[in-house]
Chains A and B, each alone.
Chain A
Amino acid sequence: MASRWWRWRHGCSWRPEARSLGPGCPGRAGPSGPRAAAAAAAAAAADVTRAQVSYFNLVKSLTSAFPIMYSISRFHHTTPAACCCSKTRSGERYTDPFKLGWRDLKGLYEDIRKELFISTTELKEMSEYYFDGKGKAFRPIIVVLMARACNIHHNNSRDMQASQRAIALIAEMIHTASLVHDDIIDDASSRRGKHTVNKIWGEKKAVLAGDLILSAASMALARIGNTTVISILTQVIEDLVRGEFLQLGSKENENERFAHYLEKTFKKTASLIANSCKAVSVLGCPDPVVHDIAYQYGKNVGIAFQLIDDVLDFTSCSDQMGKPTSADLKLGLATGPVLFACQQFPEMNAMIMRRFSLPGDVDRARQYVLQSDGVQQTTYLAQRYSHEAVREISKLRPSPEREALIQLSEIVLTRDK
């Protein structure tokens, strides 16, 4: 443990000139560079939360799966994911994954609104507020693509079951319900470029809108009539709450802090994607191996997605995101870029511990992060999760949907909003 910790520290004291050493440089002892830093960080995380080994196990396989070091700047993008999937693509031409996914999602928001049969007009208006068709619908797209990929893998079936499409709806509904509650918890005032529900109608009503969407999602889930699927998606609801609790507390130990961060990221974001992917695979194919592939793909894409989200909180401007940036710092949260930056600037420790509560803390922390390699290292970590997702999904039989999912895991890395 101690040596690993040292390696992390060592790795994190990485300087830009280390890049020129290049991959596999002969005579180089021990892991170094940003990849090692990220790997060691994740490995340290694995040590701490051995109980949740499953989330972090991938670290070992990652290290062996991607022995080549890539340029990690997200600004001139020659992503390793691109190199990786060119190997697996088998020359097939693929279309935009969003277009491919939308073919099965026509009328998504109308159908969701139909699930919310509510008599009171104001309550209905509040519950439908985010189902305006302006969201990315990232989760439903992954779900329908995964459904088709699994169906083709199982018996070359070109159909998608109605119940699988229902999972896409339910995933989006659970996601939205959690957004409504999160916005009250964080006292957020804008999302997706418009005011939040709590700012327009007040907290008292907004919390009920969230509960209502959740109950509608549970009803839709029950109507699918599959107890396994119910259990899988119930796990998500539990994870979302536990993730929120993890966010409430903080760890003093720096090692634990990283594990804590990754666990929170899994529970708050990746669990929904992972479990809804698993649910459609259960509906489409009886093979448990496929269920695990779907789950692992969703989990890795989900974590990568959130890591990039945390990066964008530092690098993007608020117009692009539709929500204010540096939001995490203002909430007192230390995300990936901050935790990495803290390795280079130990003076940030105190700020993390007091949750950036003193005046000027937020701005100073932001400057530290931008000066450090925190953004690059977090992006690198996200790339590793994305690779792992590609590696998992590549185990399925080739199909346009499988290629779209591979492409989607790259898009996650390059998105700017």
Chain B
Amino acid sequence: MSLRQLLLRLPGYFGASAPPRRLWWSPSLDTIFSVVSWRGQSSRSPAHWNQVVSEAEKIVGYPTSFMSLRCLLSDELSNIAMQVRKLVGTQHPLLTTARGLVHDSQNNLQLRGLVVLLISKAAGPSSVDASCQNYDMVSGIYSCQRSLAEITELIHTALLVHRGIVNLNELQSSDGPLKDMQFGNKIAILSGDFLLANACNGLALLQNTKVVELLASALMDLVQGVYHENSTSAKENRITDDIGISTWKEQTFLSHGALLAKSCQAAMELAKHDAEVQDMAFQYGKHMAMSHKINSDLQPFIKEKTSDSLTFNLNSAPVVLHQEFLGRDLWIKQIGEAQEKGRLDYAKLMCFSCYKGQSGHTGTSEHILNGKFYLYINLEFAQSTFARNNQSWQRCDFSY
């Protein structure tokens, strides 16, 4: 599989992980879909995804290690591992995060690092820099770009760990003893800080102040995005903020897009590519990440089983679009209908949001269409960006 195909396929994969279950496609959407699926060579089973990832890893030479070896061998990490073991049996969310990092292949994809490596390879060395090629390069990727991929993963994981801090004054009796939770918080902060310190260290070693600034601003964006996500999910039983899709896009860029976008840009900066190429890489990373997020937002709506109310989020893209389409008043009315004894009936709300046959809620399926549409716009953009990149990088060798 060529590198070009892969970069095109990666975002294409997010088109849907299950086949669309209803024929509510408009002809124009259908065309877009077929374009994407043609490009992405269709067949989007999880097994296929794993194949795409393993192909990608082969192309970049060796897979992104979760953390570099020196980091794994450090005293602090074994200390963390020891402390985390003490948490076993408690309810602290750090355990789930840690387990996810070790076992769960879904969370352990290190997608961000992989994308940074792929785009580094696709861009290759810049013509400007042809004179001084004394960097060491493995499989067409500079070692500094590999470090960058690692740093991207470190920052992402650090925030994942810090996200799992619990508020001690809001604990329920079901959460177990306060002491356990205090201890869990302590370890979560320390291990998150440890990952961030490693990221800072790696950044300093890159000896490029522009890259440091880019990644620091990505961290700032990410923190703001996570903060916003936390504060909206905290009040899950209340009605969502009246945000339009443009606000949603801004917030989602902060929490999901900024890190990948800026890392892709930084990878270009490290290979001394010019501003235009850097901007393309930025756009690719941004739209790639946005597609990823929209796809996961869509899952509860396109899966056969809709009983899984836990994954339903009032701030997901389809709901926001639905609310924008309906108008604020109608939406509040619908939420009111779905409310039972002060509790939201997610299944019912899902029915409202999700078109079911001829139930008369005209236009309720529209948001899904919109969501899909928006997703494909993003995909198209990501792919066309890459295609443009490709033209300017024709001299790169894609014969893998």
A223-B212 Cα distance, complex, nearest whole Å: 9
Rounded to whole Å, the gap between the CB of A301 and the closest CB of chain B is 24
Rounded to whole Å, the gap between the CB of B213 and the closest CB of chain A is 4
Rounded to whole Å, the gap between the CB of A206 and the closest CB of chain B is 8
A231-B203 Cα distance, complex, nearest whole Å: 9
Of A32-40, A92-100, A232-240, A346-354, the one contacting chain B is A232-240
A120-B254 Cα distance, complex, nearest whole Å: 12
Rounded to whole Å, the gap between the CB of A343 and the closest CB of chain B is 28
Chain B residues 210 to 258 lying within 8 A of chain A, measured CB to CB, are 210, 212-213, 216-217, 219-220, 223-224, 226-228, 230-231, 234
CB <8 Å contact, B196 and A245: no
Judged by a CB distance under 8 angstroms, whether A86 is at the interface is no
CB <8 Å contact, A231 and B204: yes
Judged by a CB distance under 8 angstroms, whether A15 is at the interface is no
CB <8 Å contact, A205 and B227: yes
CB <8 Å contact, A241 and B194: yes
A212-B158 Cα distance, complex, nearest whole Å: 13
Rounded to whole Å, the gap between the CB of B58 and the closest CB of chain A is 34
Chain B contacts for A30, CB-based, 8 A: none
CB <8 Å contact, A218 and B166: no
A240-B193 Cα distance, complex, nearest whole Å: 9
Chain A residues 239 to 263 lying within 8 A of chain B, measured CB to CB, are 240-242, 244-245, 248-249
Of A70-78, A180-188, A305-313, A316-324, the one contacting chain B is A180-188
Of B107-115, B184-192, B282-290, B310-318, the one contacting chain A is B184-192
Partner of B228, one of A120, A185, A207, A219: A120
CB <8 Å contact, B193 and A222: no
**Provided the pairs A219-B217, A244-B190 are in contact, do residues A211 and B162 lie with their beta carbons within 8 angstroms?**
yes
**Provided the pairs A203-B165, A205-B230, A231-B204 are in contact, do residues A212 and B223 lie with their beta carbons within 8 angstroms?**
yes
The digit string for B166-187, where 1 denotes a CB below 8 A from any CB of A, is 1111100000000000100110
CB <8 Å contact, B182 and A187: yes
CB <8 Å contact, B230 and A208: yes
Rounded to whole Å, the gap between the CB of A182 and the closest CB of chain B is 9
Judged by a CB distance under 8 angstroms, whether B6 is at the interface is no
| Nearest B-chain residue to A233, judged by Cβ | B204
Judged by a CB distance under 8 angstroms, whether B208 is at the interface is yes
The digit string for A224-235, where 1 denotes a CB below 8 A from any CB of B, is 111100110010
CB <8 Å contact, A181 and B189: yes
The digit string for A105-121, where 1 denotes a CB below 8 A from any CB of B, is 00000000000001110
CB <8 Å contact, B209 and A226: yes
Most buried by A among B167, B205, B234: B167
A interface bracket (residues with beta carbon within 8 Å of B): 35 or more
CB <8 Å contact, A249 and B200: no
A216-B217 Cα distance, complex, nearest whole Å: 8
A392-B156 Cα distance, complex, nearest whole Å: 42
CB <8 Å contact, B209 and A222: yes
Partner of B201, one of A181, A219, A222, A238: A238
A211-B167 Cα distance, complex, nearest whole Å: 17
Judged by a CB distance under 8 angstroms, whether B76 is at the interface is yes
Judged by a CB distance under 8 angstroms, whether B197 is at the interface is yes
**Provided the pairs A120-B227, A204-B165 are in contact, do residues A230 and B170 lie with their beta carbons within 8 angstroms?**
no
**Provided the pairs A184-B185, A184-B189, A238-B201 are in contact, do residues A211 and B223 lie with their beta carbons within 8 angstroms?**
yes
Tell me what chain B mostly uses at the interface: helix, strand, loop, or mixed. Answer: helix
CB <8 Å contact, B196 and A214: yes
A215-B203 Cα distance, complex, nearest whole Å: 13
Chain B contacts for A211, CB-based, 8 A: 159, 162, 192, 196, 219, 223
Judged by a CB distance under 8 angstroms, whether A221 is at the interface is yes
Chain B contacts for A215, CB-based, 8 A: 216-217, 219-220, 223
Judged by a CB distance under 8 angstroms, whether A327 is at the interface is no
CB <8 Å contact, A237 and B197: yes
| Nearest A-chain residue to B83, judged by Cβ | A248
Judged by a CB distance under 8 angstroms, whether B34 is at the interface is no
Chain B residues 340 to 359 lying within 8 A of chain A, measured CB to CB, are none
Chain B contacts for A193, CB-based, 8 A: none
CB <8 Å contact, B208 and A227: yes
Chain A contacts for B227, CB-based, 8 A: 120, 123, 205, 208, 212
A231-B190 Cα distance, complex, nearest whole Å: 21
Judged by a CB distance under 8 angstroms, whether A23 is at the interface is no
Judged by a CB distance under 8 angstroms, whether A288 is at the interface is no
Judged by a CB distance under 8 angstroms, whether A133 is at the interface is no
A185-B228 Cα distance, complex, nearest whole Å: 23
Most buried by A among B197, B205, B217, B231: B197
Judged by a CB distance under 8 angstroms, whether A202 is at the interface is yes
Rounded to whole Å, the gap between the CB of A211 and the closest CB of chain B is 5
CB <8 Å contact, B224 and A118: yes
| Nearest A-chain residue to B161, judged by Cβ | A207
CB <8 Å contact, B193 and A234: no
Judged by a CB distance under 8 angstroms, whether B79 is at the interface is yes
A223-B204 Cα distance, complex, nearest whole Å: 13
Chain A contacts for B196, CB-based, 8 A: 211, 214, 237
**Provided the pairs A119-B224, A120-B227, A248-B83 are in contact, do residues A218 and B197 lie with their beta carbons within 8 angstroms?**
no
| Nearest A-chain residue to B195, judged by Cβ | A241
CB <8 Å contact, A203 and B209: no
Chain A contacts for B139, CB-based, 8 A: none
CB <8 Å contact, B212 and A202: no
Rounded to whole Å, the gap between the CB of B256 and the closest CB of chain A is 16
Judged by a CB distance under 8 angstroms, whether B207 is at the interface is yes
A103-B288 Cα distance, complex, nearest whole Å: 50
CB <8 Å contact, B213 and A219: yes
CB <8 Å contact, A227 and B185: no
Chain A contacts for B220, CB-based, 8 A: 212, 215-216, 219
CB <8 Å contact, B212 and A185: no
Chain B contacts for A244, CB-based, 8 A: 190, 193
CB <8 Å contact, B224 and A120: yes
**Provided the pairs A202-B169, A215-B220 are in contact, do residues A222 and B212 lie with their beta carbons within 8 angstroms?**
yes
CB <8 Å contact, A208 and B162: yes
CB <8 Å contact, B219 and A227: no
CB <8 Å contact, A241 and B216: no
| Nearest A-chain residue to B158, judged by Cβ | A211
A51-B185 Cα distance, complex, nearest whole Å: 32
A193-B170 Cα distance, complex, nearest whole Å: 25
Chain B contacts for A181, CB-based, 8 A: 189, 193
CB <8 Å contact, A241 and B224: no
Rounded to whole Å, the gap between the CB of A215 and the closest CB of chain B is 4
CB <8 Å contact, A245 and B213: no
Partner of A248, one of B167, B169, B190, B230: B190
| 16 pairs, A vs B, C-beta closer than 8 Å | A181-B193, A184-B186, A187-B168, A187-B182, A202-B168, A204-B165, A208-B226, A211-B159, A211-B196, A218-B200, A219-B216, A222-B210, A231-B205, A237-B197, A238-B201, A245-B76
Further contacts, 5 of them, CB under 8 A, given A203-B185, A227-B204: A202-B168, A211-B196, A238-B201, A241-B190, A241-B193
3 pairs of A and B residues whose beta carbons are closest in the complex? A222-B213, A218-B216, A222-B212
Taking Cβ atoms with an 8 Å cutoff, the residues of B that contact A are 75-76, 79, 83, 159, 162, 165-170, 182, 185-186, 188-190, 192-194, 196-198, 200-201, 203-205, 207-210, 212-213, 216-217, 219-220, 223-224, 226-228, 230-231, 234
